[in-house]
Amino acid sequence: LRGEETTPPPIQSQNKLQNNSMNLPPDKVKILCQYDSEKKWELVCDQERFQVKNPPSAYLLKLRSYLDQGGISRKFKRRVQESTQVLRELEISLRTNHIGWAQEFLSEENRGLDFLVDYMSFAQCALRFSPGRFNALHSRKAMRNSRLVSQKDDVHLCIMCLRAIMNYQSGFNLVMTHPCCVNEITLSLNNRNPRTKALVLELLAAVCLVRGGHDIILSAFDNFKEVCGERSRFEKLMEYFSNEDSNIDFMVACMQFINIMVHSVENMNFRVHLQYEFSHHGLDDYLQRLKFTESDRLLVQIQAYLDNVFDVGALLEDAETKNALLEHMEELQDHNAQVIIRLQESEREALETVSELEKHLIQTTKEVELLKVGCKPHTWAQKPCQKYTFILVYGIKFITKNVTFFSYFPASTEQITTVDGPVAPPTSLVPPTPPAPPLLGATEVTAQAPPPPPPPPPPPPPPPPPPPPCSMATPPLPPPLPGRGIALPPPPPSIGMAPPFGGKHDGHTGKQTRDIGQDSSVSRGSKDETFTSLIPTKTNVSLFWTGNRNKKAIQTKYRMPSFNWQALKPNQVAGTIFNELDDENVLGELNMDAFEEQFKTKAQTAPADVGTLRAKVAQKIHSKVSLLESNRAKNLAITLRKGGMATSDICTAIETYNQEALSLDFLELLERFIPSEYEVKLIQNYERDGRPLDELPEEDRFMVRFGKIPRLAQRISTLTFMGNFPESIQLIQPQLNAIIAASMSIKSSSKLKKILEIILAFGNYMNSSKRGAAYGFRLQSLDLLLDTKSTDRKQTLLHFIVSIIQEKYPELQAFHSELHFMDKAALVSLDSILQDVCALERGMEVTRKEFAVQEDNPVLQDFLTSNNDLLDSVVEDGKTAQDVYESTVEYFGENPKTTPPSMFFPVFVRFIKAYKVSHHID
């Protein structure tokens, strides 16, 4: 037989047949197909060795005999006792045999499912309130036999058999299509066994999740209602759920079934109906009581049900709110549509108006150009008229700046009537003409007089807005005159006003002196000043508006926030729109009190009276003169705000050594602001001048008071030392202890000495023939024990030494138990610890000096009394740790100056770890 197994027939076909007989899911079949040929052949052989115990017909024959109602009662009792064992074997066979056996059991010839359903119906007939579906069981004997069967586990085993059948797809389909199977499963809820009820609910929940299963479950519970005499559906189920509170498995299964039963329906109205059926039986109140249960599984099912519950009242309220919002949204949409239409109409009308104005402006500009081109000079008498016409064109915008332009001319404005018809007074602006190219190298620029204009036309439209600064061009120059310009006569001496255009007026002689730079267009050597100096070009644009004048600083009532703009420099304003703006005039027209109230910063000093503020403007400009450097003053202000204490309280706490009032962090910050010699001299000079301290900022006043504390640096140093002393001791002492303990344990370990002796012996054995014998080795050589491997590369030198120790020196195996605090000592920086100890000594010495000056200070006295001995002990431990460590390092042949603890102790830590690993492997 063994030889037949080793000579496999065609494996692929047999393995395929085997997989089909096992009824495995697709993922498991895929895994089996990936096995190699040897593994597949083993599975085939194992399957062939398996022998079916009984065919399906044997179990069906026995079940058929149990349904026989005839015979003696004693003989029936013996049959009932056998039925339990038969059903248990049947369940095992359905669960473990191949799928062919189950299909044979369910075939049309055997009708195993029908026999199971009939037997289950017979077994639980006595538990019903009305007779079952078998008319032959109406007698007393049948009822007595049914009651006898129901006392056993037969019903539970029948349910388990049905579960095994439902594990197969074909079996599940038969259960779903059977006319009575699901009804009998549902009727099994009347069984007294909670395990049976939980199993029934699990099967019903599985059926409910399948398409069409929900209707089958509802029909089964309708049948349950008729058979058991319920007044309403699910009444018995809720009764069992409420009473079986001691069996958690049944309660979890029941809650899971209710959750699936109610919330697996797609129709929301039907879901609410099912939800109400359970609520009618008191499910909601019972779930409120179950919230305090200790079973996590039950709480999960309860929370899942509550998360899916529909609150019809809340939904109705949301629907009404939604409808109201939809109606309001429709109204807003209609209103918005009407507003959009009106805006479009207004936009169209405004566009038409602007277009007409633009056309009118273009026409007016062309007319002005024609007038300029058509004007030709005829006589010298027309030049004054030409001059005044040019002034009207180019100077009218500057006349509005309160400059009386015509007051500088000897004749009145009536002299402008030399052209045909009077010239209208300057009531509106005339658009400027396009620029003409300037004359290169000319020292005098003159203007050509236009011809006599016609009668005055109607007033022109208002001028367009000025262009942006980047495109601002200087006013254009007219065509030059063919002759010399006409000089302007000086103003009458009786007019007591400033000379025009930046000139200087001599009050005694009544003469005017021109003050024009080298870049002026007027020649200094000309006999008569030309009129063209009045043209606002780039060089003399300040004749009309001095935009570069110094502006006064505005003193606000409150501190205002900064407006982070990018300001133009004074030399960048010339020729821009800002040269024509007068912001001071705007501020004079507006009331800025409301603006200050709304935009003032949150950090404000006490508001001052406006009258008092204006009276003390000059004083306040110089009142906040800081003696400190600006960044140092800011940092001091931040430190004081962190402290949250008044200046007097801080200084008093320092003078009295009040450690509770001053935190260590605050003291460390204050130590940075101890006044320097330069700052002390500044303060002394300020006080020597008799100037009041109120004029200094708060930070400077604090520095004045702070600097007057005697021995300030020593006091702050003493306070800081006293506050840090306990924490420093707690940090230093354990590290010193680790150094001392680790050093002494290494130096005094006899087992470690012996192990090093063994290592020295092996090393000399390996090297003596080549390098000669060694008397010792550096500790770093211990790391090389793992790098030195045997010939076959399977064993290291350390492994071999460990095996030797186990064999020859077993007393050395636990040598590491004599070495203490290796890991802690490896983390210690001994030099830093000794420096900290020296710092403690220096701090204690400063404290002693302070106490010598203030012997009546109880704080210093108590501190020195309680901590002198403690510091002496730490100092002594520091010296001991240093001596012990140096002697230990020298003992192992190392240099203590070049070998700190962070290099010395880790060598032993690594060696111990490697030794333990090797020992564990061996």
Q: Tens digit of pLDDT for each residue in 480-489?
A: 444 444 344 4
Q: What is the pLDDT of residue 324?
A: 87
Distance CA 689, CA 685 (A): 6
How large is the average pLDDT for residues 842-858?
86
Q: What is the 3-state secondary structure (H, E, C) of 48-72?
A: HHCCCCCCHHHHHHHHHHHCCCCCC
Question: What is the residue-averaged pLDDT of the chain?
Answer: 72
Which residues have C-beta within 8 Å of that of residue 187, sequence separation ≥ 6? 121, 124, 128, 223, 224, 227, 228
List C-alpha distances in Å: 137 to 61, 70, 144, 194, 341.
20, 11, 10, 27, 88
Lowest mean pLDDT segment, chosen from 49-63, 720-734, 778-792: 49-63
Q: Which element (helix H / strand E) includes 560?
A: none
Among 72-76, 119-123, 538-542, the range with the most confident prediction by mean pLDDT is: 119-123
Contact 857, 851 (CB under 8 A): yes
Q: Is the pLDDT of residue 2 over 90?
A: no
DSSP secondary-structure letter at 167?
T
Among 360-364, 413-417, 459-463, the range with the most confident prediction by mean pLDDT is: 360-364
pLDDT digits (tens, 9 = 90+) for 307-355: 888 888 888 888 888 888 998 899 999 999 999 999 988 877 886 676 6
Contact 184, 113 (CB under 8 A): no
Q: Is the pLDDT of residue 863 over 80?
A: yes
- Residue in 125, 90, 121, 86 with CA at minimum distance from that of residue 106: 90
- Residue in 565, 363, 562 with CA at minimum distance from that of residue 457: 363
- Quickly count helices (H) and strands (E) in the chain: 38, 2
Which residues have C-beta within 8 Å of that of residue 3, sequence separation ≥ 6? none
List the beta bridge partners of residue 348.
none
Of the chain, the percentage scoring pLDDT greater than 70 comes to 64
Q: How many CA atoms lie within 13 A of 837 on its CB side?
A: 23
Q: What is the pLDDT of residue 291?
A: 82
Token pair of 372, please?
């300029």
Q: What is the pLDDT of residue 216?
A: 92
Token pair of 886, please?
């140096």
Token pair of 897, please?
């100056």
List the beta bridge partners of residue 796.
789
Question: At CA 454, angle to CA 426 and CA 458, rounded to 5?
Answer: 55
Distance CA 124, CA 140 (A): 15
Of the chain, the percentage scoring pLDDT greater than 90 comes to 10
Q: What is the pLDDT of residue 518?
A: 40
pLDDT digits (tens, 9 = 90+) for 800-826: 889 889 888 899 888 989 888 888 899
pLDDT digits (tens, 9 = 90+) for 576-620: 555 656 666 666 666 677 666 766 777 766 554 545 444 444 444
Token pair of 450, please?
């236009």
Contact 846, 714 (CB under 8 A): yes
Identity of the residue numbered 357: L
Decide: helix, strand or coil at residue 513: strand
Burial class (CB in 10 A: 0-12, 13-18, 19+), 188: buried
Burial class (CB in 10 A: 0-12, 13-18, 19+), 276: middle
What own/partner pairs with CB < 8 Å and gap ≥ 24 does 878-883 have?
A: 878/732, 878/736, 878/833, 878/834, 878/837, 880/736, 880/740, 881/736, 881/739, 881/740, 881/743, 881/830, 881/833, 882/830, 882/834
Helix axes 73-96, 154-166, angle to 10 degrees: 30
Decide: helix, strand or coil at residue 504: strand
Q: Which element (helix H / strand E) includes 512?
A: strand 512-513
- Residue in 263, 117, 249 with CA at minimum distance from that of residue 179: 117
List C-alpha distances in Å: 297 to 255, 258, 275, 300.
10, 15, 22, 5
Contact 795, 918 (CB under 8 A): no
Q: What is the pLDDT of residue 764?
A: 83
Q: What is the pLDDT of residue 595?
A: 67
Q: Which element (helix H / strand E) includes 694?
A: none
Q: What is the pLDDT of residue 886?
A: 92
Contact 423, 416 (CB under 8 A): yes
Q: Is the pLDDT of residue 768 over 90?
A: no
DSSP secondary-structure letter at 535?
S
Lowest mean pLDDT segment, chosen from 528-537, 664-673, 794-803, 875-884: 528-537
Distance CA 52, CA 42 (A): 19
Lowest mean pLDDT segment, chosen from 121-130, 255-264, 287-296, 887-896: 121-130
Burial class (CB in 10 A: 0-12, 13-18, 19+), 260: buried
- Residue in 136, 115, 114 with CA at minimum distance from that of residue 125: 136
Token pair of 771, please?
């390098």
Q: What is the pLDDT of residue 200?
A: 92
Q: In which band, very low, low, confident or very high, does the pLDDT at 47 lie, cut at 50, 70 and 90?
A: low
Q: Is the pLDDT of residue 18 over 50?
A: yes
Q: What is the 3-state secondary structure (H, E, C) of 100-146?
A: HHHHHHCCCCCCHHHHHHHHHHHHCHHHCCCCCCCHHHCCHHHHHHH
Token pair of 609, please?
């009276």
How large is the average pLDDT for residues 835-863?
88
CATH of 624-709, one of 3.40.50.300, 3.90.320.10, 3.40.50.2300, 1.20.58.630: 1.20.58.630
Instruction: Classify domain 735-921 by CATH architecture.
Output: Up-down Bundle (1.20)
Whole-model pTM above 0.75? no
Q: What is the pLDDT of residue 10?
A: 59
Distance CA 241, CA 261 (A): 15
Structural domain boundaries in the chain: 2-49, 375-546, 624-709, 735-921
List the beta bridge partners of residue 789.
796
Q: What is the pLDDT of residue 469?
A: 41
Dihedral pair phi/psi, residue 826, rounded to 5°: -70, -20
Contact 779, 905 (CB under 8 A): no
Decide: helix, strand or coil at residue 509: coil
List C-alpha distances in Å: 143 to 79, 134, 148, 229, 900.
16, 11, 9, 18, 96
pLDDT digits (tens, 9 = 90+) for 877-912: 898 889 889 989 988 888 899 999 999 999 999 999
- Going by their DSSP bridges, the two strands 512-513 and 504-505 should be labelled as antiparallel
Distance CA 274, CA 164 (A): 30
How large is the average pLDDT for residues 38-59?
68
Distance CA 870, CA 863 (A): 11
Distance CA 42, CA 30 (A): 17
How large is the average pLDDT for residues 636-651?
82
